[in-house]
């Protein structure tokens, strides 16, 4: 009987300690929304401003984080964070635009958070070239994002659907020469994203600036402030921001502001934050790019019926811009 009593006493003590810990332990930090840009350039490649000038622009325009992605160049961010960083308000995350090609087709893949410089690789096809660079990015412990696939009409949805371990895809890029809307038999980036998702690839959609021009402002220039992501994270640091991006806990936008967003087990809920006199039309989109539901509500909701493989939403504004949620998978 003695061993049994000992076990009971030990269990009781453990339960008491657990109860004390539950009371004394601090609650998990509440998650907040952080606005950031994942693709921009400096004088370290083909931009027209220094890394410090570029960083200043984003901080002054109330962004919370920034990834500098110069072509085949990894900018050290420690010094910039020492000057421009502010805990809980602004931080830089290292990045690189791994810039390769297949023949004359430009193949550019961004690396978010790499531990070291990544050398660009080639392949025997567009898909293999993308894959080789994605593999190199993953080996550097970074997340991989395919950039502007319609730039130079470089990559189709069939090419991209062959790639493994691709985390992100630019559904919107603010550069004036990237052909977001497709044309001439080429898919728009929205159509391309649905083709990739329908093929079974869980690739997240991001919106970016791809800014090069900070000194010359105009429609034909590649300026900042045109596309961004808003990420929900517990802390404003590299680990939490990249973790939330990888988990799909964010939305992409080129103007529309969402106050809140919930991807539940079977429901996609959107809470918009209208600007003056702004109205919305929200498209809930499923496999094959099929529109499953259209809503003109300020706070639209879609409940899954059970036969969808995924549902994503695009919120179009009367102002002429949009926001994209991440897919809710069955």
Whether the predicted pLDDT of 277 surpasses 60: yes
Are residues 311 and 246 part of one domain? Answer: no
Whether the predicted pLDDT of 303 surpasses 80: yes
Are residues 227 and 82 part of one domain? Answer: yes
Are residues 214 and 171 part of one domain? Answer: yes
Are residues 120 and 94 part of one domain? Answer: yes
Are residues 300 and 225 part of one domain? Answer: no
Within a 10 A sphere around the Cβ of 247, how many other Cβ atoms?
Answer: 13
Number of independent structural domains in the chain: 2
Whether the predicted pLDDT of 169 surpasses 60: yes
Interval 83-105: pLDDT, tens? 999 999 999 999 999 999 999 99
Whether the predicted pLDDT of 64 surpasses 70: yes
Residue 58 lies in a domain: yes
**pLDDT score for 263:** 87
Residue 19 lies in a domain: no
Are residues 272 and 224 part of one domain? Answer: no
Mean pLDDT taken over the chain: 93
**pLDDT score for 18:** 39
Mean pLDDT of 104-116: 98
Whether the predicted pLDDT of 9 surpasses 70: no
Residue 172 lies in a domain: yes
State the CATH number of the domain containing residue 127: 3.20.20.140
Range of the domain at 263: 256-330
| CA nearest neighbour of 169 among 219, 222, 108, 224 | 108
Are residues 327 and 189 part of one domain? Answer: no
Are residues 301 and 168 part of one domain? Answer: no
Mean pLDDT of 318-327: 98
State the CATH number of the domain containing residue 326: 2.60.40.10
Are residues 220 and 297 part of one domain? Answer: no
Are residues 276 and 246 part of one domain? Answer: no
**pLDDT score for 14:** 41
Cα–Cα distance between 292 and 114 in angstroms, integer? 38
Cα–Cα distance between 174 and 180 in angstroms, integer? 9
User: Which of 204, 219, 254 finishes a domain?
Assistant: 254
pTM equals 0.91
Are residues 222 and 190 part of one domain? Answer: yes
Residue 284 lies in a domain: yes
Residue 26 lies in a domain: no
Mean pLDDT of 53-69: 98
- Secondary structure, 3-state, 176-232: CCCCCCCECCECCHHHHHHHHHHCCCCCEEEEECCECCCCCCCCCCCCCCCCEEEEE
User: Tokens 């000194």 correspond to what residue?
Assistant: 215
User: Which of 196, 229, 254 finishes a domain?
Assistant: 254
């Amino acid at each position: 009987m003695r061993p049994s009593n000992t076990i009971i006493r030990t269990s009781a003590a453990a339960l008491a300690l657990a109860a004390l810990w539950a009371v004394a332990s601090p609650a998990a930090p509440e998650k907040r929304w952080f606005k950031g840009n994942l693709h921009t350039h400096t004088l370290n490649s083909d931009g027209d401003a220094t890394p410090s000038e570029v960083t200043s622009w984003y901080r002054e325009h109330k962004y919370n984080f920034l990834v500098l992605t110069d072509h085949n160049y990894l900018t050290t961010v420690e010094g910039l964070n020492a000057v421009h960083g502010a805990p809980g308000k602004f931080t830089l995350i290292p990045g690189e635009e791994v810039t390769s090609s297949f023949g004359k087709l430009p193949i550019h893949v961004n690396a978010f958070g790499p531990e070291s410089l990544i050398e660009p690789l080639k392949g025997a096809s567009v898909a293999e070239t993308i894959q080789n660079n994605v593999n190199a990015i993953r080996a550097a412990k970074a997340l991989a994002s395919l950039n502007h696939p319609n730039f130079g009409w470089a990559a189709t949805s069939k090419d991209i659907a062959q790639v493994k371990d691709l985390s992100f895809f630019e559904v919107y890029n603010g550069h004036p020469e990237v052909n977001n809307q497709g044309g001439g038999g080429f898919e728009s980036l929205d159509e391309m994203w649905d083709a990739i998702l329908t093929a079974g690839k869980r690739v997240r959609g991001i919106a970016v600036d791809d800014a090069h021009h900070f000194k010359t402002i105009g429609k034909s220039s590649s300026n900042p402030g045109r596309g961004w992501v808003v990420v929900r994270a517990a802390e404003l640091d590299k680990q939490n921001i990249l973790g939330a991006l990888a988990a799909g806990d964010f939305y992409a936008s080129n103007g529309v502001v969402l106050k809140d967003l919930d991807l539940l087990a079977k429901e996609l809920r959107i809470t918009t934050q209208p600007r003056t006199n702004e109205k919305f039309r929200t498209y809930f989109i499923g496999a094959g790019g099929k529109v499953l539901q259209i809503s003109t509500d300020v706070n639209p909701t879609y409940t899954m019926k059970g036969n969808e493989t995924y549902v994503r939403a695009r919120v179009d504004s009367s102002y002429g811009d949009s926001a994209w949620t991440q897919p809710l998978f069955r």
